[in-house]
Amino acid sequence: MGGPYSVALFVFHVLCVLLTLSEAGSQNTMACAPWCPANSSCASGTTCRCTPGFNSSSGEIFTDPLESCDDINECGPPMTVSCGKLADCQNTEGGYHCMCSPGYELISGATMFQNESENTCQDMDECSSGQHQCHNSTICLNTVGSYTCHCRRGWVPKPGFQDKQMGTISCEEISFPTWTAPPEIKSQSLSGFFERVQKMSIDFKSALTQETIQYLIMSVDDLLKTPGDLEALDLSSRHHTATYLFSGLEQILRTLAKAMSGGSFIYHSPGDTELSLMVQEQGSGNITVGQSHARMLLDWAVAAGAEKSGPTVVGLLSSPNMQKLLANASLDLDLEKQTELEEIYESPVRGAQLRLLSAVNLVFLSNTNTDKLNSKVTFAFSHPWEMPGTRQELICAFWKSDSNRRGYWATSGCQTLGSRNGSTTCQCNHLSSFAILMAHYDVEDWKLALITKVGLALSLVCLLLCILTFLLVRPIQGSRTTVHLHLCICLFVGSTVFLTGIENEGGQIGLRCRLVAGLLHYCFLAAFCWMSLEGVELYFLVVRVFQGQGLRKRWLCLIGYGVPLFIVAVSAAIKSQGYGRPQYCWLDHANGFLWSFLGPVTFITLCNAVIFVITLWKLTQKFSEINPDIKKLKKARVLTITAIAQLFVLGCTWVFGLFLFDQRSWVLCYIFSILNCLQGLFLFVLYCLLNKKVREEYRRWACMVTRNKYSEFATSTSGSGSSQSQTRALRPSESGM
């Protein structure tokens, strides 16, 4: 019953299964074909998968038909692979590979490898393998990872070419630089020298470079030792010639040194000029170059400068024959040095007198930019030993060209480290032509110094005449004459000590200098005290003329000599080191010690000024009372003469000195020096020549010397004059007018 029916049912089920499988296979084949992009494969009915080395924006598997599979950059950041050192990663379509960096190669000779473990990169010698682009006029030098092309020794790049790395340059043989005579200098000697230079230029051969250098140096020596009409040139032209020679020699010697085959060269000419040359392809560290005149220590990096290839030149030319061309050159002190000198000498420095001690040393390097060096250069210059005197100093200077191509000595950028045994050591941060100079600084104004010395000498003569007059002329003896006598004695001693011992030779503050400073302190204070006593006597004479005489002699001496002695003793007890200065034997400015003199002087000057005003006012009243009918002209004349006498005799001229704080105030300096140096002359005129009794005594002495019969007449005149003076009150003649 179930036989046929069961068979039919089984066949039906089989057909259904086959039909279902057939539909499923047909659907899968149709899903992959339309939308999976390039570099991908079908992953399922709705997804695609990117092949290795590619990726989509959604990742390796994506479902969006609009997406694509792009190449993965394994070498780009972030790095997903490592090729090791001296190698570079190279990306490819769907992958990558490693290659040695330019200038390096694998030991195996292969060009590519896959990872760091396969890296055997090492330097490639492009020069020996011929894998370079250097011109046949150049030399190839292998470097780590590269190579350089540069000119061979004795050759230089053609105009428009420079030494290049990994490039082609063209070189030509070194030629003698063009050097002609300066057109603005008219000199037969100089023209003859440049004719010899032109002959050298024509005959120059790089194989004979050393001989050419020697001949050039001998020609320069001949020019300098027998300058001929160069000596007749004016100062500016001679200095211009020296500057021109320096610059030309530097350029020529630098150029010719590059053509030399040897590493070093030393030449000592018959004219005692010495040349030291050192030429080296590459160097590091310090180098010392020099000879008997000078030695130089510098870094190779300073010598090479910006030049990275080619020979490095270091040269030092020392010529002792430049004195005639460089004579009377000026010195330009930088601001720091100027300030330092003014602090040392306590006075403005107005210049310096220079004397060339060493040879002039010309320095030249491959590096032409030497105005400001990265590291300092140290020099040791040999010269005859001399001990610097007063206001003298050994300085390291260099020759500097100005805007008019002339020249002068300068010190900026150079420091003198020390001097010993005929050698002076210096350091400079630039290069030029150097020399050791003995500089004698013009601290003093020679005009002012001459006025001071002549004025003091004249003042001493007049003070001596005053002292003899006050001692020997009896008709004028009195308390005021005593004041005049001791005032002149103090000024005479003080001026003598000042004239002979004020300068401190050697700069060392010794016992002599301290004694001179103390004696000057005492003498000038004593002079001011006697000036104040002169004011007191004048006060008694004019204001209290009818109330008795002035102070007694013992009180005058006690005040005149005791007060300054007390001040000096106290000052020395408090600070004895305040006496003496490095340049002058006077009171030290430090810590206000100078006020031990300025204080009393200020007080006495103010007191004298007050007495002067009171006296002048009283004189006006007295002249009005005694001479009511005196003419206005005579009254004005007497008042004027009296005022001038008071001004100078009582020391009011020191007011200029009290306000003289700045030595650059040359007007006050001249006024103060002239008035005070001639104070002895003023005293002699006021107290001797304007005194009638003194004039008569002088006349009597003159008659005694000449044995003139006029002496009897002079004596009778003197007697009648004395009798008449007793009938009058004090006349101007008796008061020194």
The CATH number of whichever domain residue 96 belongs to comes to 2.10.25.10
Structure tokens at 6: 């069961």
Q: Which domain holds residue 119?
A: 87-123
pTM: 0.59
The torsion region of residue 548 among left (phi > 0), alpha (psi -120 to 50) and beta comes to left
Q: Do both 198 and 330 map to the same domain?
A: yes
Query: In which band, very low, low, confident or very high, does the pLDDT at 170 lie, cut at 50, 70 and 90?
Result: confident
Q: Does 718 score more than 60 pLDDT?
A: no
Mean pLDDT value across residues 178-188? 90
Q: Does 63 score more than 80 pLDDT?
A: yes
Query: In which band, very low, low, confident or very high, does the pLDDT at 530 lie, cut at 50, 70 and 90?
Result: confident
- pLDDT at residue 610 in the model: 79
Mean pLDDT value across residues 155-181? 72
Looking at the DSSP bridge assignments, the partners of residue 318 are 274, 361
Q: Does 116 score more than 70 pLDDT?
A: yes
Q: Does 704 score more than 70 pLDDT?
A: yes
Query: In which band, very low, low, confident or very high, does the pLDDT at 622 lie, cut at 50, 70 and 90?
Result: low
d(CA 325, CA 233): 10
d(CA 600, CA 606): 10
Q: Do both 119 and 158 map to the same domain?
A: no
Q: Do both 394 and 475 map to the same domain?
A: no
Q: How many distinct structural domains can be found in the chain?
A: 5
Q: Does 547 score more than 50 pLDDT?
A: no
Is residue 276 in a domain?
Answer: yes
> For residues 517 and 691, which has the higher predicted lDDT (pLDDT)?
517
Mean pLDDT lowest for which of 345-354, 403-412, 677-686?
Answer: 345-354
The CATH number of whichever domain residue 476 belongs to comes to 1.20.1070.10
Q: Do both 665 and 638 map to the same domain?
A: yes
Q: Do both 614 and 537 map to the same domain?
A: yes
> How many residues in total does the chain contain?
737
Greatest mean pLDDT range, 164-173, 478-487, 521-530, 709-718: 521-530
Reference 408, options 600, 197, 246, 522; nearest CA is 246
Q: Does 675 score more than 80 pLDDT?
A: no
Mean pLDDT lowest for which of 320-329, 452-461, 726-735?
Answer: 726-735
The CA-CA-CA angle for residues 213, 215, 216, to 5°, reads 65
- pLDDT at residue 356 in the model: 92
Q: Do both 397 and 499 map to the same domain?
A: no
Q: Do both 229 and 147 map to the same domain?
A: no
Instruction: State how far the alpha carbon of 409 is from the alpha carbons of 368, 427, 465, 541, in Å.
Output: 21, 16, 51, 64
597 touches 587 (CB < 8 A): yes
609 touches 652 (CB < 8 A): yes
152 touches 311 (CB < 8 A): no
- pLDDT at residue 263 in the model: 76
> For residues 29 and 331, which has the higher predicted lDDT (pLDDT)?
331
Structure tokens at 23: 């539909």
pLDDT tens column, 7-58: 556 666 656 555 544 544 444 444 564 688 888 888 887 888 898 888 888 8
Is residue 362 in a domain?
Answer: yes
Is residue 724 in a domain?
Answer: no
Q: Do both 559 and 426 map to the same domain?
A: no
**What is the enclosing helix (H) or strand (E) of 164?**
strand 164-165
**DSSP-derived pairing of the beta strands 352-356 and 54-55:** unpaired
The alpha-carbon radius of gyration of the chain (Å, integer) is 51
- pLDDT at residue 565 in the model: 93
Whole-number mean pLDDT of the chain?
79
Q: Do both 493 and 586 map to the same domain?
A: yes
pLDDT tens column, 221-249: 999 988 888 888 888 899 999 999 999 99
Is residue 667 in a domain?
Answer: yes
Is residue 462 in a domain?
Answer: no
Q: Does 566 score more than 90 pLDDT?
A: yes
- pLDDT at residue 450 in the model: 83
Portion of the chain with pLDDT greater than 70, in percent: 79
Is residue 707 in a domain?
Answer: no
Q: Does 720 score more than 50 pLDDT?
A: no
Q: Do both 425 and 524 map to the same domain?
A: no
Q: Do both 516 and 430 map to the same domain?
A: no
Mean pLDDT lowest for which of 226-235, 596-605, 618-627?
Answer: 618-627
Q: Does 483 score more than 60 pLDDT?
A: yes
Mean pLDDT lowest for which of 78-87, 147-156, 236-245, 594-603?
Answer: 147-156
Is residue 197 in a domain?
Answer: yes
Q: Does 679 score more than 60 pLDDT?
A: yes
Q: Does 640 score more than 60 pLDDT?
A: no
377 touches 431 (CB < 8 A): yes
Q: Do both 271 and 297 map to the same domain?
A: yes
- pLDDT at residue 726 in the model: 39
Portion of the chain with pLDDT greater than 90, in percent: 22
Is residue 369 in a domain?
Answer: yes
Query: In which band, very low, low, confident or very high, does the pLDDT at 260 lie, cut at 50, 70 and 90?
Result: confident
